[in-house]
Amino acid sequence: MKTKVAIIGAGISGASIARVLSKYENLEVHLIEKAPDVGWGVSKANTALIHGGYDDDPDKYPVRARLCIKGNRLWHQWVKELQISHVWNGALIVALQEEDFDELERLLERGRKNGVPEMKMVEKEELFHLEPGLTKEAIGALWVPIVGQIAPIPAVIALVENAVANGVKTHLETEVKGIKVENGEVRGVETSDGFIEADVVINAAGLYADEIARMAGIEYFEIHPRKGEYFLFDDDVPGPRRVLFPTPTPISKGIVVTTEISGHLMIGPNAQDLPPEEKDNLATTREGLEEVWEGAKKLWPQLPPRSKVIRTFAGLRPEPTGGDFIIKAEEEVWGFINVAGIRSPGLTSAPAIAYEVAGIIQRDLGIRLIEKSSWNPYRREITHFFMLPPEKANEIAKRNPAYGKIICRCNNVSEGDILEAIERMKFIGVKTPSVDSIKFRTKATTGTCQGSFCRPRIIQLLAREYCVEPWRVTLKGKGSEIGIGDVKALLRGEE
């Protein structure tokens, strides 16, 4: 008989755990997510960095320190297996004054203690060779070559696709209402869509992990949100080749300047602690954005005019009691595993967290895991027509004319890309058609015009493929049905 496992939360941690647990033939794995699609919580809005592992103090935050560097190494393998866009461009932690070198030396020593390879201090000449556009006020830096970048939501999507292909069952738009515990043992999960029987429950609920834990009678920690705000610029604005950090403070790694994976200059985040009840507060503020702007200028003085900003946004990080990741089987409730407080560097650590959980299931719960001989680590090949060189794109468009019809002019996204995205949405169980689900799979609507041209066409395709009226298509799930303007544009056939 298979052991039934319920994972609560389809963010980067939950998706990674689902993928790793899909390796084992004696597990029946269920991935539960209250949002309409995967990766729409904490994983949705962050700096998208694969950190180097130098920042976390192993004496103060031993779990973070251990799993960050391990996760970095695993991502080098996972991005290849899952066709996740990535770059290993390295990071510079920049000194602007002499006293910064004391902190950089501490980071260098800490990184070596954590096992980070190839770190070194660089002086001005080498620094400006690595990053010519850096502020002339810079006097040196710590160079960390193993830092990289990925696209977080596409990474979650890739993980879930691979997990589902290997047998994981998804339950999207399914909110957890309670944890059933009898005689000190987990029995299952009460949800908005009925009861899901489970022998093991893994709480990877991000900002709401403390609330899920309380449903099982576990109350020793609390999660509060830490907000970070960002600017994203048009893709014709030049950005740095490396990830640029200021010398960090006790509360934050500082305002980062980077060219994100799609080629857009991005600056942020700041750090503002919010009370626990503000876990949905994603509003940007004039004061916060001004703090980001001024902080970024210290590293990258040639910021473009604000007319080149195409988007501002905010993300929330789940800050736990004590600051360290909470990853453990709870003794008072057999079968309940917390994966809570996964704040930065949670994206980096996610693959290592997944293997940590598999180890907990075997070691602490005594469930012997039996590997599948048929487990496939590779994601089904994705076309990504908009990323192909012209000769390859022309070849594919000849075979399938849908790839020759451009829907998003800003990012060269074709009808074929959108139809493929819809098919993949259905494969992992996305029930409600949304423009955001297409955006995160194809980059459509993320360019200069922010969807003013392509959104009506995307709505038309979603309506057709999901067999619904256009006005039942949503922007980001139920309650965000499209506006009448989009429907009128669609009906008029506006270009």
**Which range has the worst mean pLDDT, 15-24, 105-114, 394-403?**
394-403
Plot region of 366 (φ>0 → left; ψ -120 to 50 → alpha; else → beta): left
Domain 1-85+150-222+321-381, CATH among 3.50.50.60, 3.20.20.20, 3.40.366.10, 3.30.365.10 = 3.50.50.60
Q: Residue 279: is its pLDDT beyond 80?
A: yes
From 51, 171, 224, 264, the catalytic residue: 51
Q: Residue 484: is its pLDDT beyond 80?
A: no
294-336: per-residue pLDDT in tens? 999 999 999 999 999 999 999 999 999 999 999 999 999 999 9
**Which range has the worst mean pLDDT, 147-151, 167-171, 367-371, 379-383?**
379-383
Within 10 angstroms of residue 351's Cβ, the number of other Cβ atoms is 26
Q: Residue 114: is its pLDDT beyond 60?
A: yes
> Residue 31 and residue 218: Cα distance in Å, rounded?
21
**Cα radius of gyration (the chain):** 23
- Of 167, 164, 162, residue with least CA distance to 80: 162
User: Is there a common fold for 1-85+150-222+321-381 and 91-145+224-319?
Assistant: no
CATH fold for the domain made of 91-145+224-319: D-Amino Acid Oxidase; Chain A, domain 2 (3.30.9)
The residue length of the chain stands at 495
Residue 252 and residue 270 in contact, taking contact as beta carbons nearer than 8 Å: yes
167-193: per-residue pLDDT in tens? 999 999 999 999 999 999 999 999 999
> Residue 234 and residue 231: Cα distance in Å, rounded?
10
Q: Mean pLDDT throughout 99-127? A: 96
For position 466, what pLDDT does the model report?
Answer: 97
Q: Residue 283: is its pLDDT beyond 70?
A: yes
For position 88, what pLDDT does the model report?
Answer: 97
Active site residue 51: yes
Look over the chain and give the mean of its residue pLDDT values, rounded to a whole number. Answer: 94
Percent of the chain residues past pLDDT 90, beyond the cut: 88
Please, which pLDDT band fits residue 253 given cuts at 50, 70 and 90?
Answer: confident
Please, which pLDDT band fits residue 285 given cuts at 50, 70 and 90?
Answer: very high
Q: Residue 267: is its pLDDT beyond 60?
A: yes
Q: Mean pLDDT throughout 372-399? A: 86
214-247: per-residue pLDDT in tens? 999 999 999 999 999 999 999 899 999 999 999 9
For position 326, what pLDDT does the model report?
Answer: 98
Percent of the chain residues past pLDDT 70, beyond the cut: 97
> Residue 384 and residue 388: Cα distance in Å, rounded?
7
> Residue 322 and residue 326: Cα distance in Å, rounded?
9
For position 487, what pLDDT does the model report?
Answer: 62
Q: Residue 492: is its pLDDT beyond 70?
A: no
Adjacent-strand bridge partners of 337 = 202, 329
382-395: per-residue pLDDT in tens? 887 777 787 887 88
Cβ neighbours for 293, distance < 8 A, ≥ 6 positions apart? 231, 267, 303
Q: Residue 493: is its pLDDT beyond 80?
A: no
∠ Cα 467 469 472 (to 5°) = 105
57-108: per-residue pLDDT in tens? 999 999 999 999 999 999 999 999 999 999 999 999 999 999 999 999 999 9
343-352: per-residue pLDDT in tens? 999 999 999 9
Task: Delimit the domains of the chain by residue range.
Answer: 1-85+150-222+321-381, 91-145+224-319, 385-492
- Of 196, 194, 268, residue with least CA distance to 227: 268
Within 10 angstroms of residue 438's Cβ, the number of other Cβ atoms is 27
Q: Residue 266: is its pLDDT beyond 80?
A: yes
For position 491, what pLDDT does the model report?
Answer: 57
For position 495, what pLDDT does the model report?
Answer: 44
